[in-house]
Amino acid sequence: MIESYLVDRMFNNEPFLDELATSENKVSSQWQKLAMYYERLGPEKLGQYHEEVSRQLRENGVTYNIYGDPEGMNRPWTLDPVPMIFSGQDWAVIEKGLIQRAELLNHILSDIYGSRSLIKDGFIPFELIYNHQGFLRQVDKIKLDGEQQLIQYAADLARGPDGKMWVLHDRTDAPSGAGYTFENRAAMTRVFPDLIRENEVRKISTYYQTLKNTLVNLSSRNKENPRIVLLSPGPTNETYFEHAYLSSFMGFTLALGEDLTVSDGYVWLKTIKGLEKVDVIIRRVDDVFCDPLEFRSNSHLGVVGLMEAVRQKKVIVINPLGCRILENPGLMAFLPRLSRHILGEELILPSVATWWCGQDKEKKYVLDHLETLIIRKIYRSADNRSIYGGSLSKEELNQLRAQIDRSPYLYVGQELVNFSTTPSWINQKMEARNAVFRSYIVADTQNSTYSVMPGGLSRSSAQKGAFIVSNQQGGISKDTWVLGKREESKVTPVTEAGLRPELKSVLPSRTGEHLFWIGRYMERSVYTVRLMRMVLMTYNEVDEDIHIKENPVVSTLLRTLTKLTGTQPGFKDKKILRHPEEELISLVLDSSRVGSLAYSLNAFLSNGYAVRDRLSLDTWRILDSISEELSRMKKMGSDLTQIYDGLDSMVIKLMAFYGLNIDNMTREPTWHLLNVGRFIESAINNCNVLGSMLGKRFGTETDKSLLEDTLRCSESLVTYRYRYRSVMEMKGVLSLLILHEENPRSVIYQIMRIEKHLSSMPPQDQEVEEFLSPARKKLLEAVTKIRLCDIDLLATADGKKGNYTHLKTFLDEITALLSDTSDLIYQKYFSHTSNRYHMIQTSLLPEI
């Protein structure tokens, strides 16, 4: 493989410097061991390892969202099994250069929002700063305690034609990728443990511990137990997986803007117990979206009043608001001089050659060389994409020149660097691809320096010769290895530094609501699957010469399916009842139809994805398998036989989730709320099925079949036969499914479980515990009604029509009490969340 890689490079006369090959087209020293390993392995075995790496990431639920792509939500993360390699000697220079750059940018940031002497003395043009949207006047003169204002920093680097690493971009606002980096390393370690050991690959875990220690040290109050939250834009953000992963891994509370509120100058987290004070916010929301009161008023992602809490130093936001000014590419043109002025040193890592058009000489150069440069606006956004001059027509070049002439201070020209290639596993062979490396740097406040992760997130282009390597454009991630032993600096965990770990569980109201609806949609899906299987089984057994509407068993099952799913008019319409196939397929596969199985499963998965930081790895694997099964069923089309087989597989996967719920989840509010939702839905569905299936008397054989089907739907047929050892009778079935307090499928058992879970919930602030809450009073009323009911009266049909009127009335009363209970639970725990998240659509993009 390596031999053919070198031959291809020589034969194709590759113009790029290569990470593996020397100038003589030999394998470089740092790649020697890996090259020998891959040669021994061979393409077939490496292909298998690639599949294993992909499987590890898929099972761990590692995903990436792509905006504007209808199939881009929760897209599997791709990882090249061939890493990016740096020798220890090479890395020493890179590390020193990154620390120098972080210190330089930190000084510039402090000056821009402080004395602004660099602008006054002419080292930075004022037009470059004041015309940049990242310069936030609201944060002027606000600083963190200590010298370090820039806490997190990431730099995109590539090796230029001269063999040196060049900085392409500085990421200072809310740099992403550190979570994916950890997952990449975890997957590679599981698949290539010997290779990592043999090459003495340095560990990256110290970065995360340094970050955690720094956040704790920055907290000005409550240092023994600071409340740290990670502020995320939400489940539709491109890197939401990372937000959930890092918050869970590092012990932070994952929060959306609506989970936080400002009162008395403090930031508070809305929890099911009340408000909890927040000490530190590590944000993944862009600064201008963080406070709609002072920045972008149309933002739905931030917290109203957050800026005032920052001013009063009652909360710490990391990175500080206003850091985006350092991402201004125009600054790169002035960094060499600034480094000499501030640090008294030459810049170790050069920036890509940059010309800011706000200066006449530089503007003329850019306009004269548009065809060979990359043109960027000084403020990076989704609307301000990089423009490759060489790809423009003559007319487009003229238009661009006119735009630059109108507002030259808004544009920079940058050199198109032919950065190096690295071996990548493409199409079952080693191919050279251009690659960019992102390094992560964090302030070490204990030692007043910066710490660089010995590794990072590399990305290679999917297409040969392509320079666009972002994940949104189809770039492939690579683990990054720094080779050679080095004495690792010991980072003392916060628990060893005399700080107490967080013991009490904090559950944001929004998270609680998602968990509640996970339980409801899970149970709704289970009931729909079970009833649909019975419908299809019975429908397939009906003689062809008997019309469906003339078969009371099948027609009752079909109408019960409509009642259960709430899809009106459904099988109550005689035309649909005559030809049920299309309606049945729609009830299984139509994701856009509220009440269908596909809709309920998507809502179940969507709510699960929103709280993935609360779910175990095994639980997430089950959710992933449910999603795959649903996708497989949708590909079956109109084949009811295949759909029936898919329903068999689906019910097993749903039961696996239910089993993990019992076995894995700690008995905390998360578990209680999930099960409250589950048992409310189960009890309501039970009442609906009983009322619809047994609401009318037909005749001995039909009634017997309907009684058996009702028991099957509740998984109680075997229990009934074991308990009663007699023929099917109405009284026995109703007793088992309504009154039997030891039967998990009975209505009274399910209501009693709701009450038990609610009684185990922690009391809210100023709540009087000795009195029953309104929700528990409704449950007590329902249980009392069931215990006092006359079962003989419920099992007696009245009138010539044979309707079980008393039964229907009774079940309607119980259902109404359960619906009231659900509303009261919502008011108590979730009413201060702005949206009902069970209505969220998985295709929505974040509102900005």
Q: Write the DSSP assignment of 411-456 as a string of letters.
A: EEEEE-----EEEEEETTEEEEEEEEEEEEEEEETTTTEEEE-SS-
Percent of the chain with pLDDT over 90: 57
* Averaged pLDDT of the chain: 87
If we measure between CA atoms, which residue out of 397, 464, 388, 453 comes closest to residue 426? 464
- pLDDT confidence of residue 469: 59
Give the model's pLDDT for residue 222: 55
Q: Is the pLDDT of residue 329 over 70?
A: yes
CA 352 to chain centre: 33
pLDDT digits (tens, 9 = 90+) for 222-256: 566 789 999 999 888 888 889 988 988 888 999 99
Give the model's pLDDT for residue 571.
87
Structure confidence at residue 767 as a pLDDT band (50, 70, 90): low
Confidence class of residue 401 from pLDDT cuts 50, 70 and 90?
Answer: very high
Give Cα separations from 352 to 34, 167, 207, 404, 713 (angstroms). Answer: 30, 6, 27, 20, 67
Q: What is the pLDDT of residues 495-542, one digit of tens each?
A: 544 444 444 557 888 888 999 999 999 999 999 999 999 998 888 776
Contact 657, 626 (CB under 8 A): yes
| pLDDT value of position 842 | 35
SS3 171: strand
Q: Which two tokens stand for residue 447?
A: 């030692």
How far is the first Cα of the chain from the last one, in angstroms, to the nearest whole number? 48
pLDDT of residue 765: 56
Residues 6 or more apart whose Cβ sits within 8 Å of residue 500: 224, 225
Tell me what the mean pLDDT of segment 403-416 comes to.
Answer: 93
Query: Residue 152 in 3-state DSSP?
Result: strand
At 409, is the pLDDT very low, low, confident or very high (cuts 50, 70, 90)?
A: very high
Confidence check: pLDDT of 591 > 50? yes
Which pLDDT score, from 0 to 100, does residue 518 have? 94
By C-alpha distance, which of 823, 840, 826 is closest to 603?
840
What is the band of 486 on the pLDDT scale with cuts at 50, 70, 90? low
pLDDT for the residue 636: 76
Mean pLDDT over 833-837 rounds to 42
Residue-level pLDDT at 846: 33
Give the model's pLDDT for residue 635.
83
- Percent of the chain at pLDDT > 70 equals 90
Say whether pLDDT at 12 is over 80.
Answer: no
Structure tokens at 682: 């189960």
Give the CA distances from residue 521 to residues 208, 604, 787, 793, in Å, rounded to whole numbers and listed in that order: 36, 5, 28, 33
Please give the average per-residue pLDDT across 387-405, as a whole number.
91
Minimum mean pLDDT among 82-91, 698-707, 777-786: which range? 698-707
Q: Is residue 17's pLDDT more than 50?
A: yes
Span 401-421, average pLDDT = 91
User: Distances from the Cα of 50 to the Cαs of 74, 427, 617, in angstroms?
Assistant: 20, 11, 21
Where are any strands of DSSP class E within 545-606? none
Q: What is the pLDDT of residue 698?
A: 87
pLDDT at 383: 72
DSSP secondary-structure letter at 288?
G
Mean pLDDT of 257-284: 92
Tokens of 319: 């990175």
Region of poorest pLDDT, from 405-414, 485-494, 578-587, 678-687: 485-494
pTM of the predicted protein model: 0.84
CA geometry: angle 698, 704, 708, nearest 5 deg: 125
Instruction: Report the pLDDT averaged over residues 178-189.
Output: 93
Classify 736 as helix, strand or coil. Answer: helix
Q: pLDDT tens-digit profile of 597-643?
A: 999 999 999 998 888 888 887 888 888 889 889 988 888 777 888 88
Q: How crowded is the C-beta side of 711, counted as CA atoms within 13 Å?
A: 24
427 Rama class: left (phi>0) / alpha (psi -120 to 50) / beta? left
Range 282-303 average pLDDT: 92
User: What's the Cα-to-Cα distance from 711 to each of 196, 645, 734, 735, rounded to whole Å?
Assistant: 57, 21, 10, 12
What confidence score (pLDDT) does residue 294 get? 93
Does residue 739 register a pLDDT over 50? yes
pLDDT value at residue 844 = 33
pLDDT band at 840 (very low <50, low <70, confident <90, very high): very low
Say which range, 55-64, 158-167, 349-358, has the weakest mean pLDDT.
Answer: 55-64
Supply the pLDDT for residue 683: 96
Average pLDDT over residues 736-756: 95
